[in-house]
Chain A
Amino acid sequence: MSVGALEGALARPEEKYRICGDTGLRVYAKAETLIKVNAVAAVVFLAVGGLFGLLVALTRWPAVHILPAEWFYTALTAHGAAVLLFWIIFFEMAILYFASAILLNCRLAAPKFAWLGFILMIVGSLMATVAVLQGESSVMFTSYVPMKAAPHFYLGIILFAVGALLGCMVFFGTLVIAKEEKTYEGSVPLVTFGAITAAIIAVFTIASGAIILVPTFLWSIGYISHIDTVMYKLVWWAMGHSSQQINVSAHVAVWYAIAALVLGAKPLSEKVSRTAFLLYILFLQLASAHHLLAEPGISSEWKVFNTSYAIYLAVLGSMIHGMSLPGAIEAAQRRRGFNKGVFGWLRQAPWGNPAFSGMFMSLVMFGFLGGISGVVLGTEQINLLMHNTLYVPGHFHATVVAGTTLAFMAVTYLVVPLIFRRELILPAVARWQPYIFGIGVAGISLFMMGAGTLGVSRRHWDITFSDSVFTFDYPGTAFLMMGLNGISAVLAAVGGLMYVVVVVGSILFGKVRDEAAIKANPIVAPGNAVSTYGGEGTLKLPGTIVLVTVFFLAFVLYYFINWKFLSEVWPLS
């Protein structure tokens, strides 16, 4: 290491660290422990939230219809909070600490603050979960005013958000320390840059959440008499949608990390990939407007500009990543000699490694299912066809579950051996897990989008309307879709259970990963010490060209089909 690093180390009492036998990275004990506790909390909430999700899907399967109405809405609220907020943000805290402290060879800034943040997040998440399960706060994840939840529901989420904000501050602080102590040279790794993107969006997200949830909390205890409903939605979605943009940035960073660790893939171009993240930083959060396209009184200028992320510049960012990642994988595979034909590199990819298979499915499904549907859904006028229908959860299960959750599951198969230093138990179960979960989630997304296209409402207990004054029959196909959605949810739940069993089992009972195990079962691709840029530019990447071409054609076709659908409904102006 450089002289600067030596001086930095001498300047303060040395913190305990180890050198990772797999990667050669310096792993500080305090950072490692915080990664562990956040990851464990995340997995617990995934298990709880997943169970509620299964109950929701089984209730919406008309032939099964398992929960009574009140419980259904409670379960749906609990599902949203537990997985959309708690599972994902706990895991993201682990990613932030990993991408700063571990990847930069640096100690964590203010670990005590990180612990305080963690404790606040735990207290907040438990408080909100209890509030929901008490049954007085079945207000859905969105808690639209003037529907009122119990005060401790809002307070729990506020505490959770404050805790997460502390985590972000620790992350930025670690970046500062790493730079001062010169624990790395040049620019931070691309994965860390992705994490910076996620953390920046998190700051805006949490600030917006505070702006709206603090008054809402005060309103729930009677200090404020009125909250404007449209204003609430505007500010709430600056949190609600942006929090999903944290996920996008984080899981793209995870894709790059997995491709690098498993295959030794390096980005085709640092410039292009980082610029794509910059487009996220600047424009991704504008898409909170997707949720206000059907609201009264907001001008079309505002809607068109914001819903399109300022002329689709953030979509441009995603399309760049959508080419860079397969491109990087193809280049790495070809460099290793898998050169046969257009797709030899893909056929010969390590499909038996759940880290890789999960990552690649996440990439494909996020792009094809989540990305395309998101742009279509977020088109100002086409939104009229889909607003508040099941198309919306169909879309975001493709982004947040098939995209984020699957990517996070995939990276867990690296976190367990590298951070928890345990060998995976039940490797056969682990090998199949991403496929079972992935297929289940693809089904959930597709069938909900299908039902939504047929007009089926989201957040709805009984689409047969049996207790209503007027009964309306959705088309038979819609009922079929809801049944298939239920079956897919069962499959995804099995996949989720497999994940929890393998991960928890490995952490508790897995064989300790010692020197011998590292030699016998290497996880990290060899020959990845090279850290200079360039080099991949000379390779031909025909497979990636075919993949992005197929993607583009699907995108264009589906986009215009929906304009055709729109042109057929009642004219309105």
Chain B
Amino acid sequence: MASSESQDGGSQATEGGGARPDRVPAMQRLLDNPFLLLFLGVVMPTVFYLIWGIMEIIQIPIAK
């Protein structure tokens, strides 16, 4: 925590800076953002499960 405080004194007083005393760590900001999480939670299975899976099925060859 000490390190994040020292960084805070630097150049940027970011958008979170005014509302809270400490600079909020990036991971905490991610977890506090339900819509970013929603985006990730939909994209991950859509890409790895659905799209990849559909590509696999489309590529099944026709019997000789």
Q: Which residues of A contact B (CB under 8 A)?
A: 172, 175, 187-188, 193, 196-197, 199-201, 203-204, 207-208, 228, 230-231, 234-235, 238, 242, 274-275, 278, 281-283, 285-286, 288-289, 292, 296-299, 302, 305-306, 310
Interface of A, secondary structure class, is helix
In the complex, chain B residues whose CB is within 8 Å of the CB of A208: 50
CB distance B45 to A204 under 8 Å?
A: yes
The reply on B26 being an interface residue by CB < 8 A is no
- CB pair B41 A305 closer than 8 Å: no
User: How far is it, in angstroms, between the C-alpha of A126 and the C-alpha of B38 when the chains are bound?
Assistant: 30
Residues 1-43 (chain B) with a chain A CB within 8 angstroms: 27-28, 30-32, 34-35, 37-38, 40-42
**A298, B42: Cβ atoms under 8 Å?**
no
| Chain A positions within 8 Å of B54 at CB level | 231, 234
B52: contacting residue among A204, A242, A302, CB under 8 A: A302
Contact A238 B28 (CB under 8 A): no
A200 contact from B27, B37, B57, Cβ within 8 A: B37
Cβ contact of A187, chosen from B28, B40, B56, cutoff 8 A: B28
- CB of B38 within 8 A of CB of A200, answer yes
Q: Are A306 and B57 in contact (CB under 8 A)?
A: no
Whether A306 touches B48, Cβ cut-off 8 Å, given contacts A207-B42, A230-B57, A298-B56, is yes
Question: Is B49's CB under 8 angstroms from A282's CB?
Answer: no
B32 in contact with A187 (CB, 8 Å): yes
Given A187-B32, A278-B31, A302-B56, A234 and B41 touching (CB < 8 A)? Answer: no
**Is the CB–CB distance between A172 and B56 below 8 Å?**
no
Q: Which residues of A contact B42 (CB under 8 A)?
A: 200, 203-204, 207
Q: What separation, in Å, do the CA atoms of A297 and B28 have in the docked complex?
A: 42
List A contacts of B52 (CB < 8 A): 302, 306
Residues of B contacting A201 in the complex (Cβ-Cβ under 8 angstroms): 41
- Of A196, A281, A298, A299, most B-chain CB atoms within 10 Å: A281
Q: Which 7 pairs between the two chains have the least Cβ-Cβ distance?
A: A285-B45, A200-B41, A297-B60, A281-B41, A234-B53, A298-B56, A200-B38
Complex contacts, B57 vs chain A, CB 8 Å: 228, 230-231, 234, 297-298
Residue in contact with B53 in the complex, picked from A175, A199, A207, A302, CB distance below 8 Å: A302
Question: Which residues of chain A are near B31, meaning CB under 8 Å?
Answer: 187, 193, 274-275, 278
Cβ-neighbour of B44 out of A175, A196, A203, A286 (below 8 A): A286
User: When chains A and B are docked, how far (Å) is the Cα of A299 from the Cα of B48?
Assistant: 13
Contact call A238/B50, Cβ cutoff below 8 A: yes
* Cα(A527)–Cα(B61), bound, Å: 66
Given the interface pairs A234-B54, A305-B48, the reply to whether A172 lies near B32 with Cβ below 8 Å is no
User: In the bound complex, do residue A289 and residue B49 qualify as a contact, i.e. CB atoms below 8 Å apart?
Assistant: yes
B41→A306 contact, CB < 8 A: no
Number of contact residues on B: which range applies? 20 to 34
Among A193, A228, A288, A296, the residue within 8 A (CB) of B45 is A288
* Between-chain CB contacts (< 8 Å), 20 pairs: A187-B32, A193-B31, A196-B34, A203-B41, A204-B45, A208-B50, A231-B54, A235-B50, A275-B31, A281-B44, A282-B41, A282-B44, A285-B45, A286-B44, A286-B45, A286-B49, A298-B53, A302-B53, A305-B48, A306-B53
Task: Verify B35–A172 contact, CB threshold 8 A.
Answer: yes
Output the nearest chain A residue to B34 by Cβ-Cβ distance.
A196
Residues of A within 8 A of B30 (CB): 278
Q: Complex: how many Å from CA A274 to CA B28?
A: 9
Could you say which residues of chain B place their CB within 8 Å of the CB of A196? 34, 37
Residues of B within 8 A of A234 (CB): 50, 53-54, 57
Please judge, given known A-B contacts A172-B34, A278-B31, whether A242 and B56 are in contact too, CB under 8 Å. no
In the complex, what distance in Å separates the CA atom of A546 from the CA atom of B32? 33
Name A182's closest neighbour in chain B (CB-CB).
Answer: B19
Partner of A175, one of B27, B34, B41, B48: B34
CB-CB under 8 A from A228, the residues of chain B are 57
In the complex, are the beta carbons of B37 and A278 less than 8 A apart?
Answer: yes
Q: Which residues of B contact A297 (CB under 8 A)?
A: 56-57, 60
What residues of chain B lie closer than 8 Å to A286, measured between beta carbons? 44-45, 48-49
- Distance in Å from the Cβ of A97 to the closest Cβ of chain B? 16
Q: How far is the CB of B27 from chain A (nearest CB, A)?
A: 8
Name A241's closest neighbour in chain B (CB-CB). B49
Which A residues are CB-close (under 8 A) to B40? 281-282
Contact partner, A310, options B38, B41, B48, Cβ 8 Å: B48
Within the complex, what minimum Cβ distance (angstroms) separates B8 from chain A? Answer: 18
Closest to A274 in B: B31
Bound together, the chains give a CA A234 to CA B60 distance in angstroms of 14
CB distance from B61 to the nearest CB of A (A): 9
Per the bound structure, the CA–CA distance linking A201 and B28 in Å amounts to 20
* Cα–Cα distance between A150 and B42 once the two chains are bound (Å): 31
Q: With a CB–CB cut-off of 8 A, which chain A residues contact B48? A: 286, 305-306, 310
CB distance from A280 to the nearest CB of B (A): 9
Known pairs A297-B60, A298-B56; A285 contacts B49 (CB<8 A): yes
Question: A230 CA to B45 CA in the complex, in Å?
Answer: 18
Take A187-B28, A278-B37 as given contacts and tell me if A242 and B45 are in contact as well, using a CB distance cutoff of 8 Å: yes
A288 to B31: give the CA distance in the assembly, Å. 24
On chain A, the residues within 8 Å of B37 by CB distance are 196-197, 200, 278, 281
With A187-B32, A278-B31, A298-B57 known as contacts, the answer to whether A203 contacts B50 (CB < 8 A) is no
How far, in whole Å, are A442 and B31 apart by their CA atoms in the complex? 35
Known: A275-B27, A286-B44, A302-B53. 6 other contacts (CB 8 A): A187-B32, A200-B34, A203-B42, A278-B37, A281-B37, A296-B60
